[in-house]
Structure 1
Amino acid sequence: MRLLSETSFRYPKALSFASGRPYEGFFEFADLHRYLDRFVDDSLARGLPEERVKKAVFQYGPTNGVIRDAVARMLNADEGIHVGPESILITHGCQEAMMIALRGLFASPDDVLLTVSPCYVGIAGAAKLLDIDIEPVPEGENGLEAATLAEVARRVKAAGRRPVACYVTADFSNPSGHSLSLETRRELLEVARDEDLLLLEDNPYGLFCREGEEIPTLKALDTEQRVIYLGSFAKTAFPGARVGYLVADQPVLGGTGDPRPFAEELAKVKSMFTVNTAGVSQALIGGLLAEAGHSLRKATRELADLYVGHLETTVRCLEEHFPQARFPEHGVRWNVPGGGFFLLLEVPFDAGYPALETSARDHGVVWAPMRMFYVGDGGANIIRLGFSSLTRDELEEGIRRLAGFIRASSPRDVDVANPPDRDVANLLD
């Protein structure tokens, strides 16, 4: 990821499909003041003393967080996840939630983390920092498959090791954009039960789909407390707040011998990492949630529609330059997710780091090589396109530049489609 940032820095005029940054067109300074005021007003209206509200914003706060109740209400409204505030831990972004969950779950050198491959680089990096061994679970055509997960878990056990948990993104995964069917989600929960696994469900993009196409999360379907749910407000609100959370309602025995949610035990881990999550940041998110009636799904509908529009624009531009009916001639194809921030593009040449450098330097367009997302080998001729942060005009121009790069890089015996110069925007309206 550092290489992608450095490439974009060296070529500032290049349009970047490399990142998963949210769209910045809705960011307003005035919102920050309004959210903070709303948090204070809402807290006082609920009868909290002013001194306590001041401490929540200005002072070191409780390790578990000060907006757990608001997050619990949001999860109930948006995801049908019914947990109490005591089962929630507020973190510095989802990356810290991953670190805390892994540190709390993996205690023995024989413990193994299973993860879908390709996967978000943050989970692989967190496991590496904590010296946790990873076993990849290769994606199928439509994402993680239950039978493959069961097979890998049994293979790890047969080697005398213990598969503890599997990392999965059920909705519009990063990097592939895949979503799991309702049937697959239920099958994964069955495998988790049969193989005595936990599922670490990461869901940063689940709200960004077409209206009416939502599928229940793994956690919403979880009746046996097999899922630890990882969430963030980076994409739904703004990443500058650095507020995430985890839901861990699994009962464990605390120091007194009484059962308590696993989240409360994980708070001990967080206290050694970051002490607590910044009170000002929590107040901003708390005010946003209060203003939204604790439903981010409703509050982000316009944003979700924009991202779906970005996806449709990207796909239509790709089709204009590389008609799929002529795939045997040009060798370029892509998947079409139902939402989220990313799609995959297969090209007829090695799409590694040297190709990325050429693309940025000579064609003014940056993207992410897929091989960086695999646990082990894979993705040599596939690139990830992130379409979230660009405007529609930038998407159109970016795909035009990308098409030029692909034509220049393809083998000479591949007749890459070169459509006539015309107004692509008219085709997308």
Structure 2
Amino acid sequence: MVEIARAELHVSVSDPVASSMNFLNEVAGRHPRAISLAAGRPYDGFYSVDDIAGYQQSYVDYLLAGGLSWDRVPGMLLQYGRTNGQLGELISRMLEIDENIVVSPESVMVTAGCQEAMIIVLRALCSDPDDVVLAVEPCYVGLTGAARILGVDAVPVPESIGGVDPETVAEVARRVRAAGKRPRALYLVPNFSNPSGASLPTATRRRLLDVAAEQDLLLLEDDPYGLFGTDDEPRPTLKSLDTGGRVIYLGSFAKSCFPGARVGFLVADQIVVDRAGRRTLLADEMSAIKSMLTVNTSPIAQAVIGGILVESDCSLRTANRDKIAFYRNNLRVLLASLDEHFPQPDRDERGVRWNVPGGGFFVVVDVPFRADEKLLERSAEQFGVLWTPMSFFYADGGHQSIRLSCSYLEADRLAEGVRRLSQLVAATV
């Protein structure tokens, strides 16, 4: 058999972040009884296989009501389709209703999950070896992994407790230019970020848009958790505040609908001008990249998501009322359990502290020891609890912090997981 030297394969094959996430899955597989405070996936109880056919039928009914003849329906669902997808109109209506984002359907590209959207945007924007993307750190591993696959440098912009500081963004952009590189865009999750849970105040969002204009940056706004605040306070997206075309909006239906559909989208309404002066939408230009990646997003999967949008009158906030209530309660239970099992003053004496996010799925806990893969293995084997080392989300850092997720479990299991975590901490300090 042919043998291939691993060193001759692309660096993304041995990406330490990907290897770390694989390790996390392996530990979970070896210890199936361990309570997982690591999994950031949605709660299974909201999904039923029986719903799929109903959603598809709702979408078919929508097509027929819109004037499509029955003989064309099979082609819409079972054939290759438009590269940028067929849900543009429904998604644009959803964005206007839920997020006050007004964009044309033509500026929407439906992708095979948000991960594909990241790859398409990075590939389109970073055309030169000296082009780099800035990324708020700690950073979602999907973005750094996509950059690694494409050979694009992801330059970290350190995040503070309150989220990224726009002046720090400007400072990093200037430093990158001084080193002979061109910063093309900044990637961030402004609402309840994964992994930190941080959320930007409105004033910071406005200042960030100003800095983007000053530094000639595009902003890649990823917003998978915006629906899931612990209150109903409006948190305007960067895209809704954007008057200068600086924001490319990345969306996902994984948390608001279900992950198995693998449907995401991007909104790129920037104008592209060629040498002859012809003007097109960036979303249209990027379709050439998508056509070489996945040809098009599964029309069957799009029909399922389309049916959910039709049934909810294009308001995912309305469709997700039960999920919003569930995740709000779970976050409160997680925080209350931390208070219970790490009480004052013992907490300070041990050097344990955590943030209090205003929503989302994640809480970061600082601990007075190195939280690495070796400790995670011990945690699973001896104490029956899993968590995610924060070092997975840094180029170099986060070694004494862990990420806890509150999305996947019911409240009593969350509380038990925190109790087990407190036993690990007591035995390790």
Same fold (TM > 0.5) = yes
Where does 1:241-252 land on structure 2 (aligned, <5 Å)? 241-252=261-272
In the alignment, the residues of structure 2 paired with residue 81 and residue 325 of structure 1 have an alpha-carbon distance, to the nearest angstrom, of 46
Answer yes or no: is 1:260 the counterpart of 2:285. no
- Give, in angstroms, the shift of residue 256 of structure 1: 7.5
Residue identity opposite 1:98 in structure 2 = M
Output aligned runs, 1:380-395, within 5 Å: 380-395=399-414
Aligned with 2:45: secondary structure?
coil
Q: 1:390 is aligned with what amino acid? A: L
CA offsets, 1:95-148, max 9 Å, x none?
A: 000000000000101111100111000100000110001211000121111010
Q: Distance in 1 between matches of 2:317 and 2:198?
A: 20
Bigger Cα displacement from structure 2, 244-253 vs 205-214: 205-214
1:210 Cα deviation from its structure 2 partner: 3.0
1:377 aligns with 2:402: no
Q: Does 1:106 align with 2:126?
A: yes
CA contact 1:174–1:342 (8 Å) conserved in 2: yes
Alpha-carbon distance, 1:291 to partner:
0.1
Name 2:148's counterpart in structure 1.
128
Q: Measure the CA separation in 2 of the matches of 1:405 and 1:269.
A: 48
Contact 1:322 1:330 in 2 (8 A): no
Does the alignment pair 1:190 with 2:210?
Answer: yes
Deviation at 1:348, TM superposition (A): 1.2
Asked whether 1:352 is paired with 2:372, we answer: yes
Partner of 1:24: 44
State the AA in 1 paired with 2:365: L
Aligned ranges for residues 389-428 of structure 1 at < 5 Å? 389-410=408-429
Alignment of 1:88-107 (within 5 A): 88-107=108-127
**1: CA distance between counterparts of 2:426 and 2:170?**
42
Residue of structure 1 aligned with 2:292, choices 263, 272, 283: 272
Structure 1 runs, 4 residues or longer, greater than 2 Å off: 253-258, 324-328
Letter in 2 for 1:405: L
Aligned equivalent of 1:418: none
Equivalent position to 2:237, from 206, 213, 217? 217
Q: Distance in 1 between matches of 2:131 and 2:231?
A: 40
1:381 counterpart letter in structure 2: Q
What amino acid is aligned across from residue 393 of structure 1 in structure 2? D
Provide the alpha-carbon RMSD of the alignment.
1.1
Go from structure 1 to structure 2 and tell me whether the alpha carbon gap of 1:45 and 1:171 turns closer, same or farther (over 3 Å shift): same
Note the 1:72-87 alignment, pairs <5 A.
Answer: 72-87=92-107
- How far, CA to CA, are the matches of 2:290 and 2:263 in structure 1? 14
TM-score, scaled relative to structure 2: 0.94
Structural mapping, 1:233-244, within 5 Å: 233-244=253-264
| Structure 2 residue aligned with 1:62 | 82
1:158 deviation in Å? 1.2
Find out whether 1:332 has 2:361 as its counterpart. Answer: no
**Counterparts in 2 of 1:194-209, with a 5 A limit?**
194-209=214-229
Question: Which residue does the alignment assign to 2:317?
Answer: 297
**Cα distance, 1:49 vs structure 2:** 1.4
Distance 1:84 1:137 in 2: 32
Q: What is the match of residue 320 of structure 1? A: 340
Q: For the residues of structure 2 that align with 1:274 and 1:216, how far apart are their CA atoms?
A: 32
> 2:71 and 2:276 mapped to 1: Cα distance?
32
Query: In the alignment, residue 315 of structure 1 is paired with which amino acid?
Result: L
Deviation at 1:255, TM superposition (A): 9.1
Corresponding position of 1:415: none
Q: List gaps (5 residues or longer) in structure 1.
A: 411-429
Q: Aligned partners of 1:65 and 1:172: how far apart in 2? A: 28
Identical aligned residues as a percent: 54
Query: Secondary structure at 1:25's aligned position in 2?
Result: helix
SS in 2 for 1:318: helix
Q: CA deviation at 1:212?
A: 2.1
Distance in 1, matches of 2:413 and 2:104, equals 44
Answer yes or no: is the 8 Å Cα contact 1:42–1:290 preserved in 2: yes
Q: What is the count of residue pairs matched by the alignment?
A: 409
* Alignment partner of 2:249 out of 229, 234, 245: 229
Letter in 2 for 1:29: V
Q: Aligned residue for 1:162?
A: 182
Q: Residues 51-71 of structure 1: CA distance to partner in whole angstroms, max 9, x if unpaired?
A: 322211111111010111111
Whole-Å separation in 2 of the counterparts to 1:238 and 1:409: 38
Q: Which runs of 5+ in 2 are unaligned?
A: 1-20
Measure the CA separation in 2 of the matches of 1:213 and 1:356: 36
For residues 336-357 of structure 1, the C-alpha deviation after alignment (integer angstroms, 9 at most, x for no partner) is 1011010101111110111101
Residues 261-301 of structure 1 deviation map (CA, whole Å, 9 limit, x = unaligned): 10011111000000000000000000000000000011112
Counterpart secondary structure, 1:137: strand
Deviation at 1:254, TM superposition (A): 5.8
Query: Using the alignment, how far apart are the partners of 1:190 and 1:325 within structure 2?
Result: 43
What is the CA–CA distance in structure 2 between the aligned matches of 1:264 and 1:100, rounded to whole Å? 12
Does the 8 Å contact 1:218/1:227 carry over to 2? Answer: yes
Whether the 8 Å contact between 1:332 and 1:345 is mirrored in structure 2 is yes
SS of match in other structure, 2:220? strand
Q: Secondary structure at the match of 1:39?
A: helix
* Distance (Å, rounded) in 2 between the aligned partners of 1:400 and 1:291: 41
